[in-house]
Structure 1
Amino acid sequence: MTSGRIILEEVAFPGGQHCETTTLGALLRHEGLDLSESMLFGLGEGLGFVYWDAKNLDFPFLGGRTKPATITRTVAARLGLTLDVRETASPRKAWQNVTEALAAGRPAGLQLPLAASLMERGGTGGSLFRALYRDFLTECATLVGDDNLREGGRRYAEIAPLWTEVAGHLTTAGETGDHIHLTRASATLTQLAALERAAMQTLAAL
């Protein structure tokens, strides 16, 4: 420790796509377990969908994942790992928890309150997390050679860019005020509903 700083060696944070899976990957690698970010997202059952139109929001929120920390807890349960989770509303106590872990030679992951994010630029990996899920299915299909997994990956490869298209329409509608882009987004969302249902039916056959 020098100048009040604690430096841990061999803690790697390669460029990730989502905050929770990136942090979880770094913590696991430090313990000797190296899994891809997409694998962590899939094992953590991270895919979801929420439409939230609250009065205090300027526009409805579209979310594509489960609740914060759920991925980490689910991965830990599936892999038989023990989590050391500490929650506090005190900044001083939170910092004490972090420094205690670092002093013991363990990196710590932090969960902080954040504003709702956009589905393309808010740490979703793009496409409302569908690109991450596509990569998870593709990696699993390669590992186990299952045709349904392979087909699921193919379907989500078709689905992912359509969510990017929706994000583009919504952004343009907000910037220009032209409602035609909302109409186009609506049409694509109707198409996506059918495609996602078909993809899940394929995966349900596993």
Structure 2
Amino acid sequence: MIKILLCDDHAVVRMGLKMLLNTDEEMEVIGEASEGDEGIRQAMELKPDVVVMDLSMPHGKDGLSATSELKKLLPETAILILTMHDDDEYLFRAIQAGASGSILKSAPHDELLSAIRSVAGGNAYLHPSATKRLMEEYIGNVNKGDADLFNLLSDREKEVLALIAKGYSNKEIAEKLIISVKTVETHKSNLMEKLQMKTRPELVAYALKKGLLGYGI
């Protein structure tokens, strides 16, 4: 069962989301909040697997600030940003804040359910148009000379990066490479440091750009 906390300033939106998510036998909405500070308090108390976080909440702490603070307090909790803004600035700020994914409020219901399952499983989720733009951004960075960063990676780190891009969890990567989960986490930490990245979605976009999906596996 995926335990979910909803954080949105519109009660009607929360009610609609709760009705939708609770119809799925694998999901349960365990709490609601109308602004960021309340969302953080609820998350600390309820320990949800996923927080569905609205970006634009005019009263109290906004979604980006709450996401950044919550990831420091509960790093294992996945945060899925729910936004009406199909805009690069919001996308990159959400990823930098530590969000596991982003989905538009206009997205179909089944896409929302898939996004929640994805981030709950430790994977990244970006809606298709955002993925395309993110890849284009990193391709642009390659043209500016990030090839040297890639050359810093060991073969094992490249294997781990490829498996992250394929959507494998840390546990699944450990089983596939016959190493411990702690070693996978160390490799992931080293990847982020060498590539100057902070989140899993950034690693996924980088791996896709580098064409690592078939690397050594």
Instruction: Give the TM-score normalised by structure 2.
Output: 0.28
Q: Which has the higher contact order (CA 8 A, sep 6+)?
A: 1
Structure number, greater radius of gyration: 1
Instruction: Give the TM-score normalised by structure 1.
Output: 0.30
More strand by share: 2
